[in-house]
Amino acid sequence: MQVALVTGGGPDFITEVDAPLTAVLRRRGVTVHTPRWDDATTDWSRFDLALVRTTWDYTTRRDEFVAWAAAAAASTQLWNPAEVLRWNTHKSYLLELEERGAPVVPTAWLGQGDQVDLAALLAARSWQRAVVKPAVAAGSEGLARVGVTPAAPADTPSDPPPGPARELDEVAGQRHLEQLLAVGDALVQPFLPAIERSGELSLIVVDGEVTHAVRKQPRTGDFRVQEEFGGSMQPVEADPAARELARWIVSATGAELLVARVDLVADEVGTWQLVELEATEPDLYLRVAPAAAEPLAEAVLRRLPRARTPEA
């Protein structure tokens, strides 16, 4: 049995990210490969299954990535399916989920080339602080928080640096939004202060069931929860309401998903709001919850009809 854990460009720890899953699959008699998605020499038909894992460089080449997924799916089992990857790699999927009843963080959806007065938009929606981000991105790429702090100097880059996140005033925020809209679509959302206090809750759903959950906390003075910005994470037991919501959101896609990550944050009254449904290349945080690799490996094995594997 030949299984590909598809990777791409990214940080040095991509092997560590999937080490628990690789170990379980190998114990079950699976040969694990880690091909790059954009390696033109790869014969995808040699794999019984390809699971998209750490293709974290797709955001600057989305069209190429989507085309690769369609081609690979014609040669092997690709999970999640190619049509899901196309849908999930542009944040407009959140609009579709909202239309189906998902509690998505309120969002102003802006198209490439739109001329938008950010100050007027915030005033019209009574948002004192907001986040501005591109519609095709991973992690905190291109994300900025807009508030009432003094304007940044004109020669200061608008993208938040890898130190404590600075808050842009409306002038700098306008400039940042214009830069995003010059090259793609963008979103503006109200900033939810709870993320500074209690962080973000990520629930991992495998074949429709929540296997584990992680609380991601920003470092003091920041609002970004990613590790590269000083964020931390720890396994937690998610409350029943969050677990049920995560299962419902995955089912609301109408697609069969082998694995997905549902990112939630509480609003001002404690109601869960959907930040992201990551069904393309989610970090599953197996390095802090290695036991969760077992149900994920089982989901892979169930899709290998020729599998006759020894017990772990």
pLDDT for 14 equals 67
206 and 184 together in one domain: no
User: What gap in Å lies between CA 25 and CA 235, rounded to an integer?
Assistant: 22
For residue range 219-262, list pLDDT tens digits in order.
887 777 777 777 778 999 999 999 999 999 999 999 999 999 99
The least confident of 19-23, 265-269, 273-277, 279-283 is 265-269
Q: What is the number of structural domains in the chain?
A: 3
Q: Are residues 115 and 84 in the same domain?
A: no
Same domain, 6 and 63: yes
For residue 308, is it within any domain?
no
Residue 207 region, left (φ>0) first, then alpha (ψ -120 to 50), else beta? left
CATH number at 25 reads 3.40.50.20
**Domain assignment present for 97:** no
156-169 per-position pLDDT tens digit = 444 444 444 568 88
Report pLDDT for 86: 98
The amino acid occupying position 275 is V
pTM recorded for the entire structure = 0.87
Residues 164 and 213 in one domain: no
Domain shared by 210 and 133, yes or no:
no
Residue 289 lies in a domain: no
- Decide if 262 contacts 212 (C-beta within 8 A): no
In a domain, 254, yes or no: yes
Instruction: For residue 270, give the CATH number of its domain.
Output: 3.30.470.20
Q: Tell me what percent of the residues of the chain surpass a pLDDT of 70.
A: 89
Are residues 179 and 205 part of one domain?
A: no
**Vertex 39: Cα angle to 301 and 307 (nearest 5):** 15
Pair (80, 157) in one structural domain? no
Q: Has residue 290 been placed in a domain?
A: no
Which of 167, 190, 213 represents a domain boundary (last residue)?
190
Q: Give the mean pLDDT of 122-126.
A: 94
**According to the model, what pLDDT value does residue 198 have?**
83
Q: Is the pLDDT of residue 149 over 60?
A: no
Residue after which a domain boundary falls, among 190, 221, 240: 190
Residue 225 near residue 199 (C-beta atoms within 8 A): yes
Residue among 44, 88, 33 nearest 68 (CA): 44
**According to the model, what pLDDT value does residue 187 have?**
94
Kindly state the average pLDDT of the residues 54-77: 96
**Same domain, yes or no, for 67 and 123?**
no
Q: Does residue 279 carry a pLDDT above 90?
A: yes
Assigned domain for 163 exists = yes
Q: Flag whether 284 is in a domain.
A: no
| pLDDT one-digit tens code per residue, 205-219 | 999 999 999 999 888
Same domain, 7 and 82: yes
Q: Give the domain extent around 181.
A: 108-190
Residues 9 and 83 in one domain: yes
39 lies in some domain: yes
Tell me: the pLDDT tens digits for 170-211?
899 999 999 999 999 999 999 988 888 888 999 999 999 999
Per-residue pLDDT tens for 67-123? 999 999 999 999 999 999 999 999 999 999 999 999 999 999 999 999 999 999 999
pLDDT class of 58 with cuts at 50, 70, 90: very high
- Tell me what the mean pLDDT of segment 129-143 comes to: 86
